[in-house]
Amino acid sequence: MIKLFLYLFTLILLVNCSVDTRSGIWENVNETKSAKKISEITFEHNLSFDQYKKNIINYGKLSNYPKLDK
C-alpha cells in the first residue's frame, strides 16, 4: 500500500512539472542583460565591427518592432 501511495505521489509531482520558459526558472542566468536604452545606442563610423554588431543586436532587442522570425 505504501509503494502504491509513493508511486501515485511521484506521478502527481511529475505531471504537474512545467517546462514553461516564461516562469523564469529555465532562463539562462549567466547571460548578461543589457542596461542600455535605445537613446544611448550610437551608430558612429569609428566603431569596430564587433561593437557595431552588438549595437544592432541590442537595438533589435529593445525596439518595439514586430518579431519576423517566429
Task: Report pLDDT for 54.
Answer: 87
Q: How far is CA 12 from the centre of its chain?
A: 28
Q: 61 falls in which pLDDT band (50, 70, 90)?
A: confident
Residue 48 near residue 21, CB atoms below 8 Å: no
- pLDDT digit string (tens) for 13-47? 777 666 666 666 666 655 555 566 777 777 778 88
The predicted structure's pLDDT at residue 38: 76
Selected residue with higher pLDDT from 21 and 50: 50
Q: Is the pTM of this model over 0.75?
A: no
